[in-house]
């Protein structure tokens, strides 16, 4: 069954019920609160920005997008990019792309102009929907895009180099186009990266998306009465596939812009949310606010919140222990996955396995796992090897990259690059990563990119970037910098220089020290981790 069938079913069964709510606590001005075809209802007070959309209007909006694309000559298999912050338009555009038979290509809103250009070309994007936050970036690369690439602007005051999405789609039919889809049709391309930091385009079928929706609902016992609070960006497979549980059950979801503890509690309380997915830093911020007394549970309506789950990075068991002290009635789950496995859930802890917190869990619904050695042979239980997963959510391929595909796909098994071991009860524990990717606050940081940037500094002779443990973010990027002979430099100078990097890529720790390389010229990162991840890290911090 194609994923679009679930939206059409919800429109028929729950047409007048609310599907999505968008909240922006940072905006306090009269804004439309209900998205209807011909009516804008204004609030009577200066409440936080809030909009909502029913299942029937959601489906109609998606149909208009599909018919718009078809009217512009977009056909089955062509690629349509989506470069938007979380908003009420995001998912109707996504599903409109799918309904047209085209392939949706969500783009990371953190991408620089060059990264946007690279990904658009890699995925053969023919149409791009973008929001106001990206006008400058797109304007700077407009000349690099194919002259036939269609640009649709989602927002007010459309720039001259694009077409107005709202105006263009409003003139299109709200009836579903007669495009027949099935499980084997290609549906979406999501981007990931290897240790080099260059994005790879991950191709998935409708089968994988529908599987993830069914799996999410089963794993978290989602019902039609649940309300899911979605905070992470929808371009990410994690947020999208967790929301698919709401799609599968026809239940409501809330898109929250912002992750401050107060904003989260306000949304849970006011929207009666029952399920929330957090990253480790957000959960830690909430606990810290509770500890300080900045948040008081008694001030909010939280009794209905039944499940908190976490993914995207290792979860400290102590964090969940503290959470349960404040919320002893909550269910909890850890979700493990990759964009290559349609996001989270190929391995998960399970709602009744709190005693195994620290483990990523057991195979998810429809999935198999194995742990193998360097020769691809399954290792004995308890030994460390590479985690491999197999199931209906495994990617088709890395688009336009047969070599990379052949390196990770073997007889239907996806080699994750994560080192793991299995305990006597069958629960899987991550031990280390084969790749050097740093996961900081749920975001992947690629050392090679940061190293290349720093190496351009005229005072730097050599540089290595590694991940160091951090209680809040999981890991932080640390730059070990070897200066040129006779040159002096301060941490403040390096920090000022790194202002040229996006904030999330900037090293949080600067260490001036030699950079060891082996006989073949490769940086000996295991040696650096051994040196700085223990007692010497504390010493380095004390000197900083």
Residue 16: how many other CB atoms lie within 10 Å: 8
Full pLDDT tens readout for the chain, 544 residues: 899 999 999 999 999 999 999 999 887 655 444 444 444 444 445 567 899 999 999 999 999 999 999 999 999 999 999 999 999 999 999 999 999 999 999 999 988 899 899 999 999 999 999 999 999 999 999 888 888 899 999 999 999 999 999 999 999 999 999 999 999 999 999 998 544 457 899 999 999 999 999 999 999 999 999 999 999 999 988 899 999 999 999 999 999 998 899 999 999 999 999 999 998 878 888 998 999 899 999 999 999 999 999 987 667 787 898 899 999 999 999 999 999 999 899 999 999 999 999 899 999 999 999 999 989 999 999 998 899 999 999 999 999 999 999 999 999 999 998 888 999 999 998 876 666 778 888 887 878 778 878 988 989 888 889 999 988 888 999 999 999 888 899 999 999 999 999 888 999 999 999 988 764 456 788 788 888 875 333 333 333 3
**What is d(CA 12, CA 59) in angstroms, rounded to the nearest whole number?**
10
CA atoms within 13 A on the CB side of 217: 18
Q: What are phi and psi of 17, to 5 degrees?
A: -80, 150
Question: What distance, in Å, lies between the first and last C-alpha atoms of the chain?
Answer: 57
**Residue 470, Cβ density class (10 Å: 0-12 exposed, 13-18 middle, ≥19 buried):** middle
pTM of the predicted structure, to 2 decimals? 0.82
Whether 359 and 427 have beta carbons less than 8 Å apart is answered as: yes
Q: Rounded distance, CA 438 to CA 380, Å?
A: 28
- Residues whose CB is less than 8 angstroms from the CB of residue 406 and which lie 6 or more positions away in sequence, other chains included: none
State the Cα–Cα distance between residues 55 and 13, nearest whole angstrom: 9
Could you tell me the domains of the chain?
A: 4-258 (3.40.50.12780), 307-433 (2.30.38.10), 438-543 (3.30.300.30)
User: Any idea of the CA torsion for 72, 74, 79, 85, to the nearest 10 degrees?
Assistant: 40
Q: Which residues pair with 104 in a beta bridge?
A: 80, 188
Q: How far is CA 315 from CA 115, 310, 311, 356, 422, in A?
A: 30, 7, 8, 12, 17
């Amino acid at each position: 069954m194609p994923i679009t069938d679930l939206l059409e079913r919800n429109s028929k069964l729950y047409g007048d019920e609310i599907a999505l709510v968008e909240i922006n606590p940072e905006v306090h001005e009269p804004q439309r609160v209900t998205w209807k075809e011909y009516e804008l209802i204004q609030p009577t007070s200066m409440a936080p920005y809030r909009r909502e959309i029913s299942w029937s209007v959601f489906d109609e909006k998606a149909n208009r997008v599909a018919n718009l694309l078809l009217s512009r000559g977009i056909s089955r298999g062509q690629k349509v990019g989506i470069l938007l912050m979380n908003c009420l338009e995001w998912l109707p555009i996504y599903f409109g792309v799918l309904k047209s038979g085209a392939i949706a290509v969500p783009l990371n809103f953190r991408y620089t102009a060059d990264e946007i250009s690279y990904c658009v070309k890699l995925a053969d994007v023919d149409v791009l929907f973008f929001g106001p936050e990206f006008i400058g970036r797109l304007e700077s690369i407009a000349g690099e895009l194919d002259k036939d690439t269609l640009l649709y602007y989602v927002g007010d005051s459309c720039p001259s180099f694009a077409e107005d999405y709202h105006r263009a789609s409003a003139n299109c039919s709200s009836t579903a186009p007669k495009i027949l889809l099935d499980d084997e049709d290609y549906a979406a391309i999501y981007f990931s990266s290897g240790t080099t930091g260059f994005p790879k385009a991950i191709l998935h079928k409708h089968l994988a998306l529908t599987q993830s929706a069914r799996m999410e609902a089963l794993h978290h016992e989602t019902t039609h009465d649940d309300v899911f609070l979605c905070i992470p960006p929808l371009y990410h497979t994690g947020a999208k596939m967790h929301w698919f549980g709401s799609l599968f059950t026809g239940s409501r979801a809330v898109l929250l812009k912002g992750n401050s503890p107060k904003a989260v509690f306000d949304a849970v309380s006011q929207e009666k949310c029952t399920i929330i997915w957090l990253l480790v830093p957000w959960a830690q911020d909430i606990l810290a606010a509770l500890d300080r007394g900045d948040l008081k549970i008694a001030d909010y309506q939280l009794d209905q919140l039944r499940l908190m789950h976490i993914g995207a990075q290792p979860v400290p068991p102590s964090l969940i222990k503290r959470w349960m002290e404040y919320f002893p009635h909550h269910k909890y789950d850890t979700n493990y996955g990759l964009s290559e496995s349609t996001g989270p859930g190929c391995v998960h802890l399970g709602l009744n396995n709190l005693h195994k917190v620290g483990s990523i869990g057991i195979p998810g619904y429809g999935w198999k796992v194995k742990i193998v050695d360097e020769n691809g042979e399954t290792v004995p239980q308890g030994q460390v090897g590479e985690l491999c997963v197999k199931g209906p959510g495994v990617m088709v391929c890395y688009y336009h990259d047969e070599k990379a595909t052949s390196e990770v796909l073997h007889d239907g098994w996806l080699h994750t690059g994560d080192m793991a071991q299995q305990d006597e009860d069958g629960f899987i524990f991550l031990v280390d990563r084969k790749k050097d990717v740093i996961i900081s606050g749920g975001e992947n940081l690629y050392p090679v990119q940061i190293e290349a940037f720093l190496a351009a500094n005229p005072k730097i002779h050599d540089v290595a970037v590694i991940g160091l443990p951090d209680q809040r973010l999981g890991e932080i990027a640390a730059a070990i910098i070897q200066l040129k002979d006779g040159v002096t430099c301060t941490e403040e100078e390096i920090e000022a220089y790194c202002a040229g990097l996006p904030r999330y890529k900037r090293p949080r720790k600067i260490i001036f020290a030699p950079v060891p390389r082996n006989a073949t010229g490769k940086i000996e990162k295991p040696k650096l981790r051994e040196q700085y991840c223990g007692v010497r890290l504390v010493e380095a911090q004390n000197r900083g």
